[in-house]
A and B are shown apart, each in its own frame.
Chain A
């Protein structure tokens, strides 16, 4: 079936086409929701982020100029709002996210990942500083290039890579620690 491009849907939506707007939302809302879920750690926060981003998107739809892909532009908004939420809730400064995880984690682990390794990856992503977590999310889960991430976050490509490798090193250490703990448990 012929699939309309994001740009044509935007053009139609700007002319008041509700169906085009709904198509655009349906196309990207799952990516946005899972992005929030991984980044913020709870469904409620992910839902808040999704609503927030859609509201901002709706208000600023006319400002999309097509300089980058629509997904990249959209995640530029999502990144900003997510970081704003993380800063407000001080996820980076305390262990609230980790404290909340046990409520969501079993459910998430049952629904989203079926093996222990995947659960560990999700948990450890939440322990990373928000800036590094965001870079990992954008690189691995949203498949953006380093240049696209740099554009979205308005930082240099070298800074993006620096955060990326620092996060990989932390995950490595933590994974090793987890492996050690797991081995100790056995």
Chain B
């Protein structure tokens, strides 16, 4: 980029004045001529235009391109919402409208006290219910425990009887064994010796009739 071009473009960008630019370029006919022509064009561009501008109706084009038909609104959802809100307000407000005995009365009540009373009642009922349940559970537990104790007692008694019976049987058997061994011992050791000492006409009975029965 030549120096003159730089000067010229500085003027185009508004960095220097036309006079300053002209003084810089006046020695170069080419750039000075360009400046003169540019000044003439610039002067022409600043002259206001008076030619009538034709009216262009672009509304139809715009409407067909960008405007959408307004959606048909149904009022029912809004009505429904409004009635719901009204119902909520009526239910939450302290005002009460009562029709009683043919008379309509509007009264104000304290919803806080009502709520507290309702909560208190509910708590009392809950407490009573819990106590009943607890008593019932204790009763049931006791019954269960006692029945189990009875069963344990019966079992222990049966076992005790069975042990006693077994012990007695063992004792009897032991005694019988002792008696048999005693009898055998007596028969083997003392009976022959007794027979030797006893006279034939002894009033004692023979060993076989001695009355001792072999067990």
- Give me the interface of A with B, judged by CB distance under 8 Å: 13-16, 18, 21-22, 25, 29-30, 33-34, 37, 43, 47, 50-51, 54-55, 58-59, 61, 108, 111-114, 117-118, 121-122, 125, 136, 139-141, 143, 145, 165, 168-169, 171-172, 175-176
State the Cβ distance, B82 to closest chain A Cβ, in Å: 28
Is A175 within 8 A of B38, CB to CB? no
Is A51 within 8 A of B56, CB to CB? yes
With contacts A51-B56, A175-B40 taken as known, whether A141 is within 8 angstroms of B45 at the C-beta atoms is: yes
Q: Roughly how many angstroms separate A71 CA and B59 CA in the complex, as a whole number? A: 20
Whether, in the assembled complex, B75 has its beta carbon less than 8 Å from a beta carbon of chain A, the answer is no
Whether, in the assembled complex, B202 has its beta carbon less than 8 Å from a beta carbon of chain A, the answer is no
Residue of A nearest to B36 (CB): A172
Count of CB-CB pairs between chains A and B under 8 Å: 97
Residues of chain B from 171 to 213 with CB closer than 8 A to chain A in the complex: none
Is B44 within 8 A of A118, CB to CB? yes
- Give me the interface of B with A, judged by CB distance under 8 Å: 12-13, 30, 33-34, 36-38, 40-45, 47, 49-51, 53-54, 56, 58-59, 61-63, 65-68
When distances are taken between beta carbons in the complex, the residues of chain B under 8 Å from A50 are 54, 56
Is A18 within 8 A of B59, CB to CB? yes
With contacts A18-B63, A172-B33 taken as known, whether A25 is within 8 angstroms of B50 at the C-beta atoms is: no
Is B44 within 8 A of A54, CB to CB? no
For this complex, 16 residue pairs linking A to B, each with C-beta atoms less than 8 Å apart, are: A15-B66, A18-B62, A29-B53, A33-B51, A33-B54, A50-B54, A54-B61, A55-B61, A61-B66, A108-B51, A117-B43, A136-B41, A168-B38, A172-B36, A172-B37, A176-B33
Is B41 within 8 A of A13, CB to CB? no
Q: Roughly how many angstroms separate A118 CA and B4 CA in the complex, as a whole number? A: 26
CB-CB nearest 3 A-B residue pairs:
A172-B33, A16-B67, A140-B41
With contacts A34-B51, A112-B49, A118-B44 taken as known, whether A13 is within 8 angstroms of B66 at the C-beta atoms is: yes
Q: Roughly how many angstroms separate A54 CA and B57 CA in the complex, as a whole number? A: 10
Q: Contact check: which of A18, A43, A121, A122 meets B67 at CB < 8 Å?
A: A18
State the Cβ distance, A96 to closest chain B Cβ, in Å: 20
State the Cβ distance, B176 to closest chain A Cβ, in Å: 122
Is A113 within 8 A of B44, CB to CB? yes
Q: Contact check: which of B42, B51, B53 meets A112 at CB < 8 Å?
A: B51
Is A34 within 8 A of B38, CB to CB? no
Q: Roughly how many angstroms separate A114 CA and B41 CA in the complex, as a whole number? A: 14
Other 5 A-B pairs with CB < 8 A, given A121-B40, A121-B41: A29-B56, A47-B56, A50-B56, A118-B47, A172-B34
Residue of B nearest to A50 (CB): B56
Residue of B nearest to A21 (CB): B62
Residue of B nearest to A34 (CB): B49
Residue of A nearest to B63 (CB): A18
Is B58 within 8 A of A58, CB to CB? yes
With contacts A18-B67, A175-B37 taken as known, whether A30 is within 8 angstroms of B56 at the C-beta atoms is: no
